[in-house]
Structure 1
Amino acid sequence: MKPTLVILAAGMASRYGSMKQIESFGPGGETIMDYSIYDAIRAGFGKVVFIIREEFAENFKAIFEPKLKGRIETDYVYQYLEAYTGGRTIPAERTKPWGTAHAVLCCKGKVNEPFAVINADDYYGRDAFVKAYDFLTKDVNEKTYSIIGYELRNTLSDNGSVSRGVCDVDANNNLTDINERTSIFRNADGKITYEDANGLHEVSEDSLVSMNYLCFAPGFIDLCEEQFGKFLDEHGNEPKAEFFLPLAMKHFIESGKGDVKVIPTSAKWFGVTYKEDAPGVKASVEALVAKGEYPAQLWR
């Protein structure tokens, strides 16, 4: 059974509202998401599932169906604020759904095979898809999930500090902890540094970080459902509380249910953390096209 690629796009859907694609970076008007899907297809993924907001579904499908028809199976999941809340009262001031693990939970019944989860607006690189496919077809099971781990040096912005989940691993490359560093940057001496309440700290160039490229067996969706109920009992009255994927994964590890492998990739990540990043992203895509990594017109 071929694995499925799940793309978290509900937070982006408003940018499709007037039939316009999100910002184009490729020479043929391609978005970052187009390159991820292209890499997934050539790695061997059999289906792509878009998690979007239902009110933008018609426009979204009009953009992607013509490109992908005959290339890969597509499906759509709608993330509702009320989904899987079990009839609990939702705070009146709550306007958006409950985060990335809730988004994956909304795939229940749609995704019944090993799957990877990515962000819609991050470029992950071909190597990441090859390694994810390899893991999902050979090693994944209900006691073994994975994170595609990026070298920290390959995930920075030239235009300001970034937040990164720095992975701690044991001797077998199993995840033991993720430390969220909310302000990572290169200092004046070129050293990668993060700042916290205790000051400035250097961090290794080759530290592995999570960029939200995650691989699961289908039972993870049931785990999300179990944990979401507990999350709502504890945080459901907080208007801005979010049920994130790392929270569900942390429970998976700490409860002894299994391990999360951190699979290193040398791929260079890029994305638009700041508006000023956009020209650099476009230049990075153009360089990949010039090297022959992608055709100039991706879907022709």
Structure 2
Amino acid sequence: MKPTLLILAAGMASRYGSMKQIDGFGPNGETIIDYSIYDAIKAGFGKVVFIIKEEFLDNFRAIFDPKLKGRIEVDYVFQNFDLKQFGIEEEIYREKPWGTAHAILSGRNVIKEPFCVINADDFYGFDAYKKMVDFLTSEATDSNYSIIGYEIGKTLSDFGAVSRGVCKVDESGNLEEIVERTKVYQENGTIVYEEDDKKYPLSFDTPVSMNFWGFTPAVFKITEDMFRTFAMENKDKPKAEFFIPLIGETLVKSNIATFKVVPTSNQWFGVTYKEDKPFVQDCIDQLVKNGTYPTKLWS
């Protein structure tokens, strides 16, 4: 059974100013998602599931259904605020969605095979998809999951400091913990992060998480149980978010599951602000020119 690609595409993109999930970056208006799915099909994924807001459905179908028909199975699921589906009867006020770990629960009724989760607005590169397929088809179990580890030096921005989840890895290549460094940047040829007004160096190849996770469907029950607890504990915190790294941290520290950190040397890039768009377009243009991708992706 081929694994499934689950794409987190429900965000409103407030900082970007528009729906960057369907903004065009390639020479023929291709989205970043187009390149992700192109690489995923090539790597061996058999289905793609979009997590979106229900009001986005018509836009997504108009863009992706025609080009993906006959290439890969496609499904759409919706992230919403309905808590009764999780057995929570209490009304809880929210200012924003519950976060990425809550979002993946939207796929629990349509995904029955090993799967991976990615961000819609991140470019990961073919190597990451191929390594994830290999893991999901040969190593994944209900107690052995994975995360793609990017070299931090290949994930930084020329436009300022970034936040990165720095992975601490044991001798077996498994995740011990993820430490969020909220201000990482290059300075005089060195990568540093700031904490308490002090600067600390990081090596170029320090592994970081870019939200590319591999699971089996068993994670849905675990996540649902965790979410019920999280929601009730944070019912008076309307901005609290339930993120995927919390799943990893909980399962690792409770010895329920291991997470293999699968290294990739691919260049990562993504879009947060409008100012990022020309840079991303240039990166994709170079990949087209060197033959990594055809000029017209879905010809």
TM-score by length of 1: 0.94
Aligned residue pairs, count: 296
Opposite residue 103 of structure 1, the aligned amino acid is A
Corresponding residue number in structure 1 for 2:282: 283
- Residue 22 of structure 1: CA displacement? 2.7
In 2, are the aligned partners of 1:19 and 1:59 still within 8 Å (CA)? no
Corresponding residue number in structure 2 for 1:53: 53
Corresponding residue number in structure 1 for 2:92: 91
* 1:64 corresponds to 2:85: no
In 2, are the aligned partners of 1:47 and 1:74 still within 8 Å (CA)? yes
- Residue 50 of structure 1: CA displacement? 0.2
Alignment deviations for residues 247-277 of structure 1 (CA, whole Å, 9 cap, x no partner): 1111111111120010000110001133322
Distance 2:132 2:298 in 1: 23
* 1:130 corresponds to 2:130: yes
Q: Report the more deviating stretch, 58-67 or 150-159.
A: 58-67
Distance 1:218 1:154 in 2: 31
- Residue 105 of structure 1: CA displacement? 1.1
Corresponding residue number in structure 2 for 1:203: 202
Q: What is the correspondence of 1:1-300 to structure 2 with a 5 Å cutoff?
A: 1-12=1-12, 22-83=22-83, 84-92=85-93, 94-187=94-187, 189-300=188-299
Q: Specify whether residues 14 and 155 from structure 1 end up closer, same or farther in structure 2 by C-alpha distance, changes over 3 A only.
A: closer
Distance 2:226 2:244 in 1: 11
Opposite residue 286 of structure 2, the aligned amino acid is A
Opposite residue 123 of structure 1, the aligned amino acid is F
Distance 2:106 2:200 in 1: 39
Distance 2:292 2:92 in 1: 48
Distance 1:291 1:199 in 2: 41
Q: Specify whether residues 19 and 167 from structure 1 end up closer, same or farther in structure 2 by C-alpha distance, changes over 3 A only.
A: closer
Distance 1:21 1:264 in 2: 26
Distance 1:291 1:157 in 2: 22
Opposite residue 33 of structure 1, the aligned amino acid is I
Distance 1:21 1:146 in 2: 25
Q: Report the more deviating stretch, 258-267 or 95-104.
A: 95-104
Opposite residue 7 of structure 1, the aligned amino acid is I
Q: Specify whether residues 166 and 95 from structure 1 end up closer, same or farther in structure 2 by C-alpha distance, changes over 3 A only.
A: same
List runs of 5+ in structure 1 lacking aligned partners.
none
TM-score by length of 2: 0.95
In 2, are the aligned partners of 1:4 and 1:111 still within 8 Å (CA)? yes
Opposite residue 212 of structure 1, the aligned amino acid is N
Distance 1:219 1:153 in 2: 34
Opposite residue 116 of structure 2, the aligned amino acid is A
Q: Specify whether residues 14 and 157 from structure 1 end up closer, same or farther in structure 2 by C-alpha distance, changes over 3 A only.
A: closer
Runs of 4+ deviating beyond 4 Å:
12-15, 18-21
Q: Secondary structure at the match of 2:153?
A: helix
Alignment deviations for residues 149-206 of structure 1 (CA, whole Å, 9 cap, x no partner): 000010000010000000001000110010100000001x211010111511111111
Q: Secondary structure at the match of 2:131?
A: helix
Q: Give the alignment's Cα RMSD to 1 decimal.
A: 1.8
Q: Specify whether residues 21 and 130 from structure 1 end up closer, same or farther in structure 2 by C-alpha distance, changes over 3 A only.
A: closer
% identical equivalent positions: 56
Distance 1:199 1:218 in 2: 42
Distance 1:118 1:257 in 2: 23
In 1, are the aligned partners of 2:8 and 2:117 still within 8 Å (CA)? yes
Q: Secondary structure at the match of 1:278?
A: helix
Distance 2:194 2:264 in 1: 26
Distance 1:224 1:275 in 2: 33
